């Protein structure tokens, strides 16, 4: 039997974790001018594999500045796109994924326009996004939450997934989609889309400082009391 929303004991762990991260790192709130259009967020996610956010921001902004529209970017040759995406860790992969994705949207919508997603239920909107080339759960959740849509979808990156696994909140080998599906029903009911966005950004900070991929600093981690890995390291 599925527990009612918010009754899972992991929900209170997430509340404590969120409060602890705010106490340790301060608030990390995305200002309105940092909420980009859903089309920008999608392009940014498609090209961003294993690339630092700042580099992907510069690449995404650079494409729009040079070509003027996503429809124009879709018409650029792969060779030219790859040359413009040299900041990315895998520029050839990024170029093909972006071109394929943009062309798929144009084929279905007539233009690179995602406004229709705002009228769909969250699950349907994410499913529509995930049928596009190069778009997986992290990207679809990012479009729905981190863009101007501000929908209640939790973005899951490598830091987020690793921390949830180590804490025992999600299965040890859960991929991004499984982590998302596990977390969404147990998130505190009072959290808004902005709270979910901040939680993700705070977890990224925690993953960069204490819960690192290698040599995690469990002894000084604020989440240790609720973390299965942290308790074992004592």
Per-residue pLDDT at 79 exceeds 80? yes
Per-residue pLDDT at 1 exceeds 70? no
How far from 39 is each of 35, 146, 162, 210, CA to CA, in Å? 11, 11, 28, 33
Answer for the pair 222, 24: CB distance below 8 angstroms, yes or no. Answer: yes
Interval 9-58: pLDDT, tens: 999 999 999 999 999 999 999 998 889 999 999 999 999 988 899 999 99
Q: What domains appear along the chain, each with residue ranges and CATH number?
A: 9-30+154-232 (1.10.1670.10), 36-145 (1.10.340.30)
pTM: 0.91
229/124 Cα distance (integer angstroms): 36
CB-hemisphere CA count at 13 Å for 18? 18
- 218 — pLDDT class (breaks 50, 70, 90): very high
Q: Could you give the angle at the alpha carbon of 59 between the alpha carbons of 58 and 65, nearest 5°?
A: 85
């Amino acid at each position: 039997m599925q527990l009612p929303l918010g009754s899972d004991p992991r929900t209170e762990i997430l509340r404590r974790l969120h409060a602890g991260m705010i106490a340790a790192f301060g608030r990390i709130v995305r200002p309105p001018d940092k909420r980009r259009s859903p089309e920008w967020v999608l392009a940014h996610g498609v090209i961003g594999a294993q690339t630092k956010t700042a580099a992907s921001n510069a690449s995404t902004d650079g494409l729009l500045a040079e070509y003027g529209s996503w429809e124009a970017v879709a018409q650029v040759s792969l060779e030219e796109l790859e040359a413009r995406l040299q900041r990315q860790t895998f520029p050839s992969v990024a170029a093909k994924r972006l071109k394929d994705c943009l062309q798929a949207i144009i084929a279905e919508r007539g233009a690179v326009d995602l406004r229709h997603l705002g009228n769909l239920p969250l699950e349907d909107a994410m499913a529509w996004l995930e049928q596009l080339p190069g778009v997986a759960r992290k990207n679809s959740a990012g479009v729905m939450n981190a863009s101007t849509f501000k929908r209640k979808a939790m973005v899951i990156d490598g830091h987020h997934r690793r921390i949830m696994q180590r804490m025992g909140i999600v299965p040890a080998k859960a991929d991004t989609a499984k982590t998302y599906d596990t977390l969404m029903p147990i998130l505190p009911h009072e959290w808004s889309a902005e709270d979910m966005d901040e939680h993700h950004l705070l977890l990224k900070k925690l993953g960069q400082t204490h819960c690192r991929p290698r040599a995690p600093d469990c002894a000084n981690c604020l989440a240790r009391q609720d973390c299965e890995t942290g308790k074992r390291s004592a």
